[in-house]
Structure 1
Amino acid sequence: MAQSELRGKAPSDGETVPRRRRASDTAEKSGRRGGGGGRRRGDAKAERRQRRRRALRWSASVLGVVILGTAGAGYLYIQHLNGNIRKGELVSGGDDVAKPKPNAAGQTPINILLLGSDIRDSAEDIKLGGAKENKGAPPRADVQMLIHVAADRKSAAFVSVPRDTRVDIPQCTDPKTGHVYPATNDLINSSLARGGPGCTMATWRQLTKLYIDHWMMIDFTGVVNMADAIGGVDVCVQDNVWDHHLPGGIRGGSGLKLKAGVNKLKHEQALQWLRTRDAWGSDPERAKAQHMYLNSMMRTLKKQNVFTDSGRFMDLAEAATKSLQVSEELGSVKKLYDLGMQLKSVPPKRITSLTMPRIADPEAPNAHLLPDPVNAPKVWQMLRDDVPFDKNGTPAKKKEPAAPKTPSQSPGQLGVLVQNATADSANAAVPGRAQAVADALAQQGYVRASKDASATGLSADSTVVRYPSADLQGDAQALAKSLGIPASAVKQSTAVSGVTVVVGADWRTGSSYPQKPKEGDVPSNSDAINGADESQCMPVYKPYRW
């Protein structure tokens, strides 16, 4: 029945007027008939509330569409960025380095191998970095730098190995062709052509005995794009510099030309700075210049609101993903972003850049280098032990050690067993190690020390001195002190019947226990630079001044 008919006619038997219609009709009539003013004000308020509810529903619907649309566009953009990233095999050579154990908070350090390739596969790369005849030539990793982020994420380090350092390169298999390259001893930058970045990764793991989680490689074009994306990087030179070929066959060639003082590097100049070697005087000096650039870039990124400036962020994301080739497990924007956030959280004053300590190579003293046999291992040990290279951290509160117990007998009366537990996941046990330490104890007056011939196949990460009962605690402490073993490594154990020295994988050589490096105790020949130091200025080799 039509509404007009319902309004003027009472319902017949069996007909029902819907309650909603009757209520609306009553309101409509009372409005027309001029009912009480209070009722009209109430109806007006109700109408306004209804309009607000309709507006809110509409706004929510529009907002929902916008959010969904933005999320969809964001998803598509992230997929686009993921598509930019090139990936490669993590390691393509011998890999026997154990992962580090987590700290008390369950954290482990992050180690990333950063490679700068001189590959010239495109016209743009050739324009920026070399002659046409070099197109397609086997690539070399002329920049090799380890980025170490501490387990607690409070400090970080950049450690370079000069490209002309001669090292052992393990057997590597090219993941693309399957070609097997035999192990060799050669310059470290040649490892890239022997199976790609995965072979350079294997070489670094073998050199440092450090577990390295990822690698990242950037080419000539990428360096330029990244510098432009952040608006340039400030660097300083002490004199006017021009790195070019000089009369008389004096080499040069990056083309870098700057005036003395602070310069903001953009475009091709950024690449020229990183490639310059002759104007600085040596390859280690080039590494130092690269550290200055990287430290300045980190400071620049911290000062910029990159993550709140959508235009700048998109430029940086586009440049980064197009510029990088990464190990396969790192090949997504999210993983790269998370990695960047880990490094971003470290303040510049807790970032240290240094170059591996080195000596001249006797086979080519004017051209090649070798790792310093004393100080290079010290650097690698600090990284493995996650010891900060700086002294700017907040000192941890240390408990006062308990006073040592008095020995119950003289060293000459004490029976001591020495066990060889120097094997670990990467190395077999050192032959004769238990006897060597027993002999060292004899020199300290412990003439009854002997190797435990029944203990075979043992392995322990750290050296420990064990004693079975409280009456031998003082004897165990005195013995540990005589060898330089820390008091914290003296443990009571029911697994031994007398004082026992368990020689672990951390003490494979020497007659005294190796002392752990302390925070900031970096070798003097490592060219260490603190990330907050803005006073650094590169000296220029005299022939290249103008």
Structure 2
Amino acid sequence: GSGLPSGPGRAAARRARKKRNRRRRVFLPIGIGVSLLLLTGISAAYVAYQRLNGNIKTDAVDGKLNADRPQAGGNGTGKPMNLLVIGSDSRAGGNRALGGGGDIGERSDTMLFVHLTSDRRRAVVMSIPRDLLVDIPSCVTKDGTRSEARRRVMFNSAFEVGGAACTRNTVEKVTDMRVDHHIIIDFAGFKGMVDAVGGVEICLPGNVQDRQGHISLSAGRRKVDGREALDYVRFRHDNAVGGDGSDLGRIRRQQAFMASLARQIRSSDTLTSPTKLFGLADALTKSIRADEGLDSVKDLVELARGLGNLDTKDITFAHIPVYNPPDDTNRVALVQPDARRLFEAINRDDPLDGSRKLAATPATPTASAAVEPTRPAVPHKPTAKAPGKRTSASATGSPPAEPSKPPIKPVTRDANQDVCRAN
């Protein structure tokens, strides 16, 4: 015969393949979650454990989070977890050579809101534009004083005012979702993570020559090392590749890169090579700061163990609906009530593919602090008004709940999408 199994033998082969696939499941908020899972493979080695534990720095928020915080969300079956992953643009130490320029201080260069559902079977990764116009509440500053509340300023300035704690306060006020933990990663940590997995595949529709950022990337599909990967996710002068120079083009590339990184780890021998495994975990922990609940290998491993059933196909990348306000076209503002409905859906653990059944009772309106337009927003070119078209909320508050609206279905992509299609 052909030597191929048939009947019961073929079924057994399928079960074996399925079992192997389950072992290769990963979770990914820009590589943090992947590395958390990888840490479970080395935490038993005492020397490695001590070294990794000593790498992690604590970014304390105790006493800095505002009192008027949202309650935990979920669908009544458990407690979800919301993790804020902050990419820092600090030029301290080796980061200056990677980031370029002579900037002082530290701002949030990339911001990912990662929602893990109550059953830990799905995750949503929502990118927050750094140039989103928001109202920043009063925060404890880095010198211990309290800042004044600020209106209509860029979102990433919250990090400069009061670090991760002020950023968390701002996210909670804008989205009405509670942030449970945060992790900060710098340029060196990102580069080391990519190099540790042997590079990651990217795809560009055209050549990139960003003289201002000293970035040169060639068109097409190819694998890049850590330095080139950092250039790929950071460059903003992207008109040559179909962008408009805004932060939205960067967000699309970053989400495509995260998915590609997940696939690279799944397809390489990183999971089975102790040397590569430790190299990845060491590179990452050297360059992260975490709040008091995630600042040890033990905490990270406990988080990872709760994510064993999460597959890349269960990770959804969501885009916040925004538009360019007429009085400041270099910034973006939330399109309402679309943004509010997206935040509510995430907070309730609703799927974002439009499959949720209509609720019998209206949802509670959120108290959004994001800057909203003073007149109906038109985020696209004017067209004939379609039946049921939504308009923006007023500047004085959120619109009433609309129980007759269909389930939310925002612009999303999943982690299995090909990197060339994702740009």
TM-score class, shorter: 0.7 to 0.9
Which structure's CA Rg is the greater one? 1
Cα distance change of structure 1 residues 513 and 126 upon mapping to structure 2, 3 Å threshold = closer
Counterpart of 1:141 in structure 2 is 108
CA shift, 1:222, in A, is 0.9
Amino acid at match of 2:52: L
Counterpart of 1:270 in structure 2 is 229
Structure 1 residue matching 2:82: 3-state secondary structure: strand
Q: For the residues of structure 1 that align with 2:163 and 2:257, how far apart are their CA atoms?
A: 26
Structure 2 residue matching 1:172: 3-state secondary structure: coil
Counterpart of 2:275 in structure 1 is 311
Counterpart of 2:15 in structure 1 is none
Is the helix fraction higher in 1 or 2?
Answer: 1
CA shift, 1:516, in A, is 7.1
Does structure 1 conserve the Cα–Cα contact (< 8 Å) formed by 2:89 and 2:186?
yes
Structure 1 residue matching 2:286: 3-state secondary structure: helix
Q: For the residues of structure 1 that align with 2:70 and 2:76, how far apart are their CA atoms?
A: 19
Q: For the residues of structure 2 that align with 1:517 and 1:383, how far apart are their CA atoms?
A: 15
CA shift, 1:108, in A, is 1.5
CA shift, 1:82, in A, is 1.1
Counterpart of 2:291 in structure 1 is 327
Higher relative contact order (CA 8 A, sep 6+): 2
Task: Provide the alpha-carbon RMSD of the alignment.
Answer: 3.0
Cα distance change of structure 1 residues 234 and 390 upon mapping to structure 2, 3 Å threshold = farther
Q: How does 1:444-483 map to 2 (within 5 A)?
A: none
Structure 2 residue matching 1:362: 3-state secondary structure: coil
Does structure 1 conserve the Cα–Cα contact (< 8 Å) formed by 2:189 and 2:284?
yes
Q: For the residues of structure 2 that align with 1:162 and 1:102, how far apart are their CA atoms?
A: 25
Structure 2 residue matching 1:320: 3-state secondary structure: helix
Counterpart of 2:28 in structure 1 is none
Amino acid at match of 1:77: A
Q: For the residues of structure 2 that align with 1:112 and 1:73, how far apart are their CA atoms?
A: 25
Counterpart of 1:177 in structure 2 is 143
Structure 1 residue matching 2:293: 3-state secondary structure: helix
Q: How does 1:182-331 map to 2 (within 5 A)?
A: 182-185=148-151, 186-239=153-206, 241-245=207-211, 252-253=212-213, 255-260=215-220, 262-279=221-238, 280-281=243-244, 282-304=246-268, 306-331=270-295
Counterpart of 2:347 in structure 1 is 384
The equivalent position to 1:156 in structure 2, one of 106, 118, 123, is: 123
Identical counterparts, % of pairs: 30
Amino acid at match of 1:125: N
Q: For the residues of structure 1 that align with 2:406 and 2:143, how far apart are their CA atoms?
A: 43
CA shift, 1:290, in A, is 0.2
Counterpart of 1:110 in structure 2 is 81
Counterpart of 1:81 in structure 2 is 52
Does structure 2 conserve the Cα–Cα contact (< 8 Å) formed by 1:291 and 1:354?
no
Residues 71-97 of structure 1: per-residue CA shift (max 9 Å, x gap): 999223212211110111237342423
1:357 and 2:321 equivalent? Answer: yes
Q: For the residues of structure 2 that align with 1:219 and 1:535, how far apart are their CA atoms?
A: 24
CA shift, 1:308, in A, is 3.3
How many pairs does the alignment contain? 343
Does structure 1 conserve the Cα–Cα contact (< 8 Å) formed by 2:87 and 2:185?
yes
Residues 88-124 of structure 1: per-residue CA shift (max 9 Å, x gap): 123734242333266565x3112111111111111x2
Structure 2: gaps spanning 5 or more residues: 1-41, 369-397
Q: How does 1:35-50 map to 2 (within 5 A)?
A: none
Counterpart of 1:120 in structure 2 is 91
Residues 199-254 of structure 1: per-residue CA shift (max 9 Å, x gap): 11111011100011111111111110011111211121122x22322xxxxxx415
Does structure 2 conserve the Cα–Cα contact (< 8 Å) formed by 1:352 and 1:529?
yes
Q: For the residues of structure 2 that align with 1:178 and 1:359, how far apart are their CA atoms?
A: 35
Cα distance change of structure 1 residues 517 and 140 upon mapping to structure 2, 3 Å threshold = farther
Structure 1: gaps spanning 5 or more residues: 1-70, 246-251, 402-421, 428-507, 540-546
Does structure 2 conserve the Cα–Cα contact (< 8 Å) formed by 1:147 and 1:158?
yes
